[in-house]
């Protein structure tokens, strides 16, 4: 099956669900400002049911931008806690 046709099969009135009916979408679209001003509890609540997409980010998801999270990208590190299947994505 054509991937484009598969994606469009989920459209509502010609628009993707995150635009046509955001409450039913698996995506929560937020600006950088909305994300930064949201409480940790709000973000955690959203991540229980949605993927967060942050628009207007000030940083880049490249090697330089990743270094703001970790100084040496080759170092091993331990992640503690439970794995979450929801993620925060950025759009530039």
Note the pTM of the prediction, 2 decimals: 0.57
How far is the C-alpha of 40 from the C-alpha of 89, rounded, in Å? 17
* CA gap 9, 5 in Å, rounded: 6
Cα torsion at 15, 20, 22, 23 (round to 10°)?
A: -130
pLDDT digits 0-9 by tens, 62-86: 666 665 555 565 666 555 555 544 4
pLDDT tens figures, 30-48 = 998 999 899 999 999 999 9
**Can you give the pLDDT at residue 88?**
53
Measured distance CA(61)–CA(92) in Å, rounded: 9
Computed on alpha carbons and rounded to an integer, the radius of gyration of the chain in Å comes to 16
């Amino acid at each position: 099956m054509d991937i484009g046709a598969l994606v469009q099969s989920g459209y509502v009135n010609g628009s993707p669900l995150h635009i046509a009916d955001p409450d039913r979408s698996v995506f929560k679209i937020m600006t950088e400002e909305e994300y930064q001003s949201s409480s940790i509890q709000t973000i955690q609540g959203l991540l229980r049911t949605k993927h967060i997409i942050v628009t207007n980010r000030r940083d880049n998801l490249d090697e330089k931008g990743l270094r703001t999270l970790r100084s040496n990208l080759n170092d091993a590190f331990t992640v503690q806690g439970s794995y979450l299947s929801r993620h925060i994505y950025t759009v530039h």
